[in-house]
């Protein structure tokens, strides 16, 4: 994946989208944990929220970066040479979906930089770089209690497909969208 620059928050700054690298580990873990807590912790039990540790996030990212699933990518957004968010995509991991379905595995932006276009840029890059052309549609999972994330995805054409599953003691919903045409 080639890097590209998009106009950022102000004229002195530019957002750069690029593939994740091994030296992004600490920032990926930090952003993942902070954004997950900010968006999802209110929907989780206290016991589930207590499982959200920096060490657990770091180990998860270390494993992913060292042994990425086949066909997966992680795109990061940088602004002023600092990571502001990331999105992961690739083949669907759901057994009930056929191989023509991709998945947006994750999309997290540092909460201090929400509502500045990073999420939209990462969403579009993740879908256009890996899933468009390879897959006819895509799926993602979102916690039922995360109204902000649901609004974000629905504004971009994602719709619930009726599938639900438990996640960390909460209910998650599967959203789907077609990948043909413009985003």
Domain boundaries, the chain: 4-178
**Measured CA angle at 167 (ends 143, 121), to 5 deg:** 40
How deeply is 127 buried, as exposed, middle or buried, from its count of CB atoms within 10 A (0-12, 13-18, 19+)?
Answer: buried
Q: How crowded is the C-beta side of 113, counted as CA atoms within 13 Å?
A: 23
- CA–CA gap between residue 27 and residue 82 (Å, rounded): 8
Supply the DSSP symbol for 129. Answer: I
Q: Which two tokens stand for residue 150?
A: 């649901």
* Beta bridge partner(s), residue 83: 78
pLDDT at 46: 77
pLDDT at 132: 56
- CA–CA gap between residue 111 and residue 50 (Å, rounded): 19
- CA–CA gap between residue 138 and residue 94 (Å, rounded): 11
Closest CA to 142 of 132, 156, 124: 156
| Per-position pLDDT tens, the chain of length 183 | 444 444 444 445 799 999 999 999 999 999 999 998 888 888 887 788 777 888 989 999 999 999 988 889 999 999 999 999 999 999 999 999 999 899 999 999 999 999 999 999 999 999 986 555 688 899 999 999 889 999 999 999 999 999 998 888 788 999 999 987 543
Q: How crowded is the C-beta side of 122, counted as CA atoms within 13 Å?
A: 32
- CA–CA gap between residue 16 and residue 27 (Å, rounded): 15
- CA–CA gap between residue 41 and residue 46 (Å, rounded): 8
pLDDT at 168: 83
pLDDT at 48: 80
Residues 6 or more apart in contact with residue 122 via CB below 8 angstroms: 17, 75, 77, 85, 86, 87, 107, 109
| CATH pick for 4-178 out of 3.40.630.30, 3.40.50.300, 3.40.50.2300, 3.20.20.140 | 3.40.630.30
């Amino acid at each position: 994946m080639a890097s590209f620059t998009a106009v950022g928050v102000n004229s002195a700054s530019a957002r750069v989208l690029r593939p994740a690298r091994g030296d992004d580990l600490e920032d990926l873990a930090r952003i993942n944990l902070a954004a997950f807590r900010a968006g999802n912790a209110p929907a989780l039990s206290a016991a589930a929220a207590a499982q959200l540790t920096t060490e657990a996030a770091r180990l998860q990212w270390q494993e992913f970066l060292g042994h990425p699933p086949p066909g997966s990518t992680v795109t990061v957004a940088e602004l002023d040479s600092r990571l502001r968010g990331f999105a992961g995509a690739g083949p669907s991991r759901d057994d009930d979906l056929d191989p023509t379905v991709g998945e947006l595995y994750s999309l997290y932006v540092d909460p201090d930089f929400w509502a500045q276009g990073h999420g939209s840029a990462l969403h579009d890059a993740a879908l256009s770089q890996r899933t468009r052309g390879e897959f006819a549609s895509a799926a993602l999972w979102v916690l039922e209690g995360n109204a902000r994330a649901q609004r974000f995805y629905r504004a971009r054409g994602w719709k619930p497909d009726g599938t639900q599953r438990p996640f960390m003691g909460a209910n998650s919903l599967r959203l789907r969208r077609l990948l043909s045409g413009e985003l």
